[in-house]
Amino acid sequence: MGQAKWIWYPGDFEHYHHMLLSFRRQEYGCDYPCVWHISRPEVSARFLRSFTTEHDGVFTVVTRGKGMVRLDGALRRVNEPIEVDKGAHEIAVELFDLKTFPSLFIDSDVLITDETWQTEIYDARPVPAACEPAFSSAADDPAVFPFCYRALEPVAVESVGNGLLYDFGTEQFGPVRVSIPEGVEITLVYGESRAEALDPENAIIRETLTARDEPERPARAFRYISVLGGNAKNVGLKALLEYLPIGDKASFTAPDPELNEIWALCAHTFHLNTREFFLDGIKRDRWVWSGDAYQSFMIARYLYNDPGVTERTIVALLGKPPYRRHVNTINDYSAFLIISLWEHYEAAGRLDFVRSVWENVKALYAFIVSRLDENGYAVHRDGDWIFVDWGELDKSDPVCFEQIVLWKAHHAMAALAAAMDEPDKTYTVRADALRSRVLRDFWDEEKGAFIDSFTSGRRFVSRQTNIFALLYGFVDGERKRSVVKNALLNPSLPAITTPYFKLYELLALCEIGKIGEAQDYISAYWGGMLKAGATAAWEAFDPTQTGDAHYAMYGSPFAKSLCHAWGSGPILLLCRYVAGVTVSDGGKAFRVAPVPGRYKSFSATIPVGEGSVQIDYESFFVTVSASVPGGVFFDGKTETPLQEGETYTFRLSE
């Protein structure tokens, strides 16, 4: 008999914790509701199992909900011992929980709960029960997310005006416990910067407290915390780091100390944003955004190679049908989510996970298709947000960028359907028809690139649209060369100003072999951030700014996130392009094609499947060893198979 685990209806765990997370946002003393629909967990479920025991025994159905047990048709109580005779039996546990979600746990020598159980929501459609390895004892509670905690000690405590300023040295996230004497009122101010912690009027997170308030405050982002008010020096303050125990499986080191600092900065940032789900940033909205998550999935594939957070995030973003608006209300984000699932399957080969969300994915795709126009174009409908990027674009309907992402989503659905043994030519037929129309309507021969819109008459060419045409393989041959020349490398086009889309631009530069330019940008942008005092990667960095101006955004002096997931992009760039490792075929195949660019030497460990590949480069020579089969090495001209456990030395083509 295996390990007993708490079980529940698939998605309930993710939907419950997504619901809690989505409504924790606070700004300027106010609770800030999430601005899109959030799916809730089921309130009742039925759990089914046939089992045989070779001896008489006793088991208890442990649950924090209410309900009953049907053992061979006879009713029994939950949370009480149940005797069972030797032989074959049928059990059904029927539960409801109006506060969290139905879940149960059995651990005995005759019966345990695990993923072999079936469950249904009284719809006569039983599916495999869901579980998480962290919940494996009766004392566990799936309604409490299994974070780890450790004490944080301030590196400095400073007297400031009418209070104290605690400096924890670097960006942190966790709960704070305050002990306030009777009759004392304080203001607790959280700051990612010193200036924010000392400005209670403009700080994003601040609260006024007395001894009557709960001493343990909710988990929040901070580097600095100020305790302001009368007798503030008599107030005790202790902080904890709240984190997931996910270890890094990737590493990248070079003789350049600054590059190593940049890697460490990005890894620290990414860990702080790796929580129940992948967050965009830990201070301001702390919501789950599909566009941000799309980049996080790519980064996590290298840094962690752990499917847990990725799959929870996909489930949370998918929510439940019927769909009435796009994911996060953004058209491109719905398509990104479908593409994300395919890329996750291609890298990790988790077919059981695809199967568990497949019906919802098909429903989301059907929703996308239902809102297309007569030409199969994605267009703006009431309630939609055609986002793309904050930069300058022509968003007159239809927008070319949306069609390229939609084309990729069509192909992703075709590939997922094939993996699910449900081949359907409809997906590729739609993709082929869409591509033909896009080439007809959006390709501008004179400009040698795609225009954003053909309806406005502006014939405006943006980098964003053409970058995705390159990244998604929408063009090849002469058109691809034209897009590179007239869009990607065209200095007359408006520059990309958001770090979110800058990562895609850097990926595109690497795809066409401009590794050196990407490396220079890493040194200038992230190196500049370090010099400006960053202890985590910022939401945005402008080297022309100085002092407190760095912290302003969205019309507020401290609204900028100083710990933002998309700021961890160098991890992806260094692993995928400099070390040159890409994984395919569900993690069973990988390719090592390092491009050192401007780096004279480096050492990298990149996770692949259940193992890793070690790459050491020095002056045109690369030493490679892999602990798993299925790899090939590409030296710039030829491919060489890599045998598991063998060490190879290659000379790169100049």
What is the CATH number assigned to the segment(s) 7-128? 2.60.120.260
Rounded CA-CA distance 291/298 in Å is 12
pLDDT at 649: 97
**Residue 119 token pair:** 């469950």
**Which CATH topology does 579-651 take?**
Maltose phosphorylase, domain 3 (2.60.420)
pLDDT at 161: 86
Give, in words, the CATH class of 331-386+392-495: mainly alpha
Strand partners, 397: none
pLDDT at 469: 98
**Which CATH topology does 148-243 take?**
Jelly Rolls (2.60.120)
Residues (pLDDT < 50) of the chain are none
Neighbouring C-beta atoms of residue 243, cutoff 10 Å: 17
pLDDT at 609: 93
Cα 96-102-106 angle, rounded to 5 deg: 115
| pTM, full prediction | 0.97
Is the backbone peptide bond immediately before 398 cis, with ω within 30 degrees of 0?
Answer: yes
HSE-CB for 377 with a 13 A CA cutoff: 23
Looking at the chain, which residues constitute the CATH 2.60.420.10 domain(s)?
579-651
Rounded CA-CA distance 633/213 in Å is 61
Rounded CA-CA distance 300/295 in Å is 9
Looking at the chain, which residues constitute the CATH 2.60.120.260 domain(s)?
7-128, 148-243
Query: Using one digit for the tens of pLDDT, what is the confidence trace for 445-454?
Result: 999 999 999 9
